[in-house]
A and B are shown apart, each in its own frame.
Chain A
Amino acid sequence: MNSKENTEKSYTEQMRPDVKMQSIGLNAWFGQKQALKDINLTVKANAVTAIIGPSGCGKSTFIRTLNRMHELVPTAKMSGQVLLDGKDIYADEVDPVQIRRRVGMVFQKPNPFPTMSIYDNVAAGLKLTGAKKGKNLDEVVKRSLEQATLWEEVKDDLKKPGTSISGGQQQRLCIARAIALQPEVILMDEPCSALDPIATAKIEELIVNLKNDYTVVIVTHSMQQAARVSDFTAFMYLGQLVEFGETSGVFENPKNELTEKYITGKFG
């Protein structure tokens, strides 16, 4: 069976319409070290899925496999499948750049392009893909900043450097930059860990609102944040998926003793 047939079999047999992404038997290595071990996880569409677990458990590696970003590390290799709308994103014919456009990423530390204005930061990805200056681009920038709940705060300062605004605003600018490309999935790797509680609350509110239009996967060290913003929670430990389920169930009555110990702060 060739890769295409295999992918189509996956779509018909394994995907449900409410599933946006799915990892099947996913393993990942950096050199000799195995970072992910047989991860089978479904990411539901228009929902927030949180990945929790102690440092080094593989959660950041996992979300990087969802848009092939881990491949940017030279020693990285993987096996298994990651399906996006039922299609394997690692199939031979798939362009990783296209995947990263459909599955965007927001990082731990706000990282606006330092030499660009607020406007250009949001427009940067679109310009790279051929968008021209003009009314349409202005509208996309405005809409993206509105969706990132930043428009009202920066609408009179669009020409100022992206780094001139506060850390929390910079992170929302990065979210606007990701949204501008109209991705289907937004991955967030500890997006609030460098922010104060007020900025964190704004980003959390934004995350919950974003699921109306996007599918969100968030890695977080904060159990309370996972509980507050996510619909589903996955607990990872030593590269393995220990428990996955609805967030309310995982936090009220975890099925696995390791999960219980981790979320109640008895280890980690």
Chain B
Amino acid sequence: MDRLLDRGLEQLTAMVHKMGDTAEKIIAISLRGFIRGKDTSEDVHELSEVLVAMTMEVEEKAFGLIAKYQPVASDLRIINSYMKIAYDFERYGRYAWDIAYIGKRLGGLKKCDPWIPEHIADMSEKVLLMVKISINSLKSHDTELAQTVSKTEQEVDEMYFQFLDKLVKEASATNQCTISGVLVVRYLERIADHATYVSEAVVYIATGKKVTLR
């Protein structure tokens, strides 16, 4: 049976999936630009503003559906989770913008000891993988895939602390590199957290169980 609510849910799902595509794109542009020393701040800023606007659209749509149809059970879980996921995608955009802006302001990693760009490049690939997993599992309702972020999230956390430990030991790193590196790994770590929140929401939508993948 096609319910009136189903039409609204389909629209909301399409909006959240589109946000996911945009979020994946903005993080890829920002990270790869930063690692290659390319200024992407304008493009990234534009996309991050798009994500902010889309989050508001998702919230408005979700509130409208709640007010009109008083959804319950899986319908309510989906709407609630989509609102949270939209916020996570908005934060992806914000961190992507922070990274791009640091690249522009502090000049990237060209002058750093080689281990720093290598470490950040490795960590970036892991975070990009987590972002992809979170978005793909959302689209496919694949709870097994969603739960695979847990392992990568641990690796990202470890890389974060390894980076900080090594900075302390390697006094040769310039101040500039130290600051930008510290900030960027921090943002990467936060993006990884949000990718985990999205995956937790995917499990909640499908099963009603609140799991912690962190």
Contacts and interface: CB of A to CB of B under 8 A. Distances in A.
A15 interface: no
Interface string A185-226: 000000000000000000000000000000000000001100
A85 to B, nearest CB: 33
How many A residues are at the interface, by size bracket? 10 to 19
B68 interface: no
A263 B75 CA distance: 10
B208 A253 contact: yes
Interface string A243-268: 00000000111100001100111110
A253 B76 CA distance: 9
B70 A253 contact: no
A116 interface: no
B74 interface: yes
Contacts of A260: 73-74
B1 A264 contact: no
A252 B5 contact: no
Given A252-B77, A253-B77, A253-B208, A266 B72 contact: no
A267 B3 CA distance: 10
Given A223-B72, A251-B76, 15 more contacts: A227-B70, A227-B72, A251-B72, A251-B73, A252-B72, A252-B76, A252-B77, A253-B208, A254-B73, A259-B73, A260-B74, A263-B72, A264-B3, A264-B73, A265-B1
24 contacts: A223-B70, A227-B70, A227-B72, A251-B73, A251-B76, A252-B73, A252-B77, A253-B77, A253-B208, A254-B73, A259-B73, A260-B73, A260-B74, A263-B72, A263-B73, A264-B72, A264-B73, A264-B75, A265-B1, A265-B3, A265-B5, A266-B1, A266-B3, A267-B1
Interface of A: 223-224, 227, 251-254, 259-260, 263-267
